[in-house]
Amino acid sequence: MTDIVRLEGVTKVYQDGKVAVPALRGIDLVLQKGEFVAVAGPSGSGKTTLLNIIGGLDKPTQGSVYLEEKRLSAMTRGELSRLRLNRIGFIFQSYNLIPVLTAFENAEFVLLLQKQPAEERRQRVGNLLEEVGLSGLENRFPRDMSGGQQQRVAIARSIAPEPALVLADEPTANVDSQTASELLDLMEKLNREKKVTFLFSTHDPAVMERSRRLIVLKDGRIAKDTLK
């Protein structure tokens, strides 16, 4: 198996006024292609910070992050933006979708930024929406969809460009447990069938259950890393 993400001695210290807030205190971590990983831990343990650093949205104070063997800290803002566009999918907790675009257009958005040809976009997005169970809702706007449906669109959007890694910060935090379980079914299926690598953070024990690898953070350190 190939390494997709590698973190070496990553620390992150936020400066909150005059107080230094350590969020990560030395993380060594390797993610491999096709993994289905959950990051758990109490509030403030550093889950979001970890995901942001892996996604190139934030820079570590110390240590290195490699994505597909490329060192993120060596990249410019533009290169990071291109990396996110082509290699990383993002799913956020809420308000994920662009409100003025339909389900189809939202899922298509990243492909448009990549300047994929129209036919290619139409086919890929059509298939994906079917796969996430949204056939017939292509022309709905986010405000006319349930939270679960919106997250399905977000999932479709995140995997549309076939990224190396999908980062999801508490993707199920805003939906009921039934919907959460269905979203997990979906991500699991995509992981199994399309070999999409997922890294998601969660508070929910039921969600942790479903992961195949569980990383528990505590005070900015990896307290437990179990492979099931």
Q: How far is the CB of 167 from Mg ion (least distance, A)?
A: 12
Which residues fall within 8 angstroms of residue 127, CB to CB, at 6 or more apart? none
Kindly indicate which of the ranges 42-50, 82-90, 108-116, 128-136 contains the residues binding Mg ion, using the contact rule CB under 5 A: 42-50
One of 21, 98, 112, 118 touching ligand ATP (CB under 6 A): 21
Q: Which string of x and - marks every residue 53-82 that binds another protein (by CB under 8 A)?
A: --x-xx------------------xx--xx
Segment 77 to 136, residues that bind another protein, using CB under 8 A = 77-78, 81-86, 90, 92-96, 98-101, 109-110, 112-113
Residue type, 85: L
Q: Which of 58, 57, 43, 44 is nearest to 12 (CA)?
A: 58
- Return contacts of 203-210, CB within 8 angstroms, 24+ apart: 203/40, 203/43, 203/170, 203/173, 204/172, 204/173, 204/177, 204/180, 206/177, 206/180, 206/181, 207/38, 207/172, 207/180, 208/38, 208/40, 210/38, 210/181, 210/184
- CB of 45 or CB of 151, closer to ligand ATP: 45
Which residue's Cβ has the minimum distance to Mg ion? 48
48 binds Mg ion (CB under 5 A): yes
Segment 42 to 71, residues that bind ligand ATP, using CB under 6 A = 43-49
Pairing type for strands 88-91 and 165-169 reads: parallel
23 binds ligand ATP (CB under 6 A): yes
172 binds Mg ion (CB under 5 A): no
